[in-house]
Structure 1
Amino acid sequence: MSDISNLTNQIVEFYEKLSSWELSVVREQGMTLPQMHTLEILGTHEPLRMKELAQRMGVTTGTLTIQIDKLERLEMVRRRPHEEDRRSILVELTPKGKALAEEHHTLHEQLTRDITAQLGSEERRALEEAFRRMNCEF
């Protein structure tokens, strides 16, 4: 098997394991993956215009509107008018949404600690750099 095939298999296996972990954690928190993804993005970049949030999520604004409606009913986010652009609506986390986003981020950090425990600091830095460079390709 070629080096690229081996690497492909490792990436696919990692993705499948990470996805399975993510789904189980999100379910335990009573959320769906798209809902948690929304909270994660807002936790890092809030507040965002609806259009900006939709772009970051890779969905249409119509799809996002349905998602935000659900998250508003759960009291995780709120909409407010943009102060400088009356046509725009900003979305931000509520204290409840912020707490859940922070809790989920903490779980991500613990997973990272767990799965990199066998790596030395140089290997962790190399892995981080590899991920940074690969992420730029998307």
Structure 2
Amino acid sequence: MADKDLIISIEKSIRYISVHVRAHGREILNEYEISPPQFVALQWVGDKEGITIGELSNRMYLAHSTTTDIVDKLENLQLIRRYKSEKDKRLVLVEMEPKGKEIIRKVIDKRISYIRDITAHLDEEQMIMLPELLESILRESEKLTHG
């Protein structure tokens, strides 16, 4: 395969795997009144305690007003809460509530189970290499995305 064909194949595989993993995890969301974009916001809040709505908006590539609507909904469901920054009272930060953490845990557990199933055919050496390769790709992706 030519270099371009390899990259095209990698892109397609990553895209499809990502869709499948997310879809299996989101089955849990049927138990709650949470849309996929609201769940993505919930994940970002969980990943970065004390995130501002502006940061959340940038990470989700959404308009500030749309992100505010999502935060309002998640707050009404008692999954997250807003609070004033101790360092700068002008800043409103968002953090996860216990109910939000529980939903995230359930979804991640479902995803982990699915990943276990789809990697069960790999041998021990491949299983050891896979996280190392993915972490390396993730680090480069973070560098290119966030400088």
Tell me, in whole angstroms, the C-alpha distance in 2 between the residues paired with 1:63 and 1:113.
Answer: 35
Instruction: Name the structure, 1 or 2, with higher relative contact order (CA <8 Å, separation 6+).
Output: 2
Contiguous gaps of at least 5 residues in structure 1 = none
Instruction: Give the alignment partner of residue 103 of structure 1, picking from 106, 112, 116.
Output: 106
Aligned counterpart in structure 2 of residue 47 of structure 1, from 39, 46, 50? 50
Q: CA RMSD in A?
A: 2.4
In structure 2, the residue corresponding to 1:80 is in which secondary structure?
strand
1:14-33 deviation line (CA, Å, top 9, x unaligned): 34433443443433444211
Aligned to 1:69: 72
State how far apart, in whole Å, the 1-side matches of 2:135 and 2:89 are. Answer: 36
Contact preservation (8 Å) 1:43, 1:102: no
Cα deviation per residue 1:72-126 (whole Å; 9 max; x = unaligned)? 1111111011111122101011121121122222222222222212223431232
Q: Which amino acid aligns with 1:27?
A: N
Contact 2:53 2:92 in 1 (8 A): yes
Identity %: 30
1:134 has 2:146 as partner: no
Q: 1:120 to 1:45 in 2, by over 3 A?
A: farther
Q: Give the aligned length.
A: 138
- What's the TM-score, normalizing by structure 2? 0.76
Structure 2 gaps of 5+ residues are none
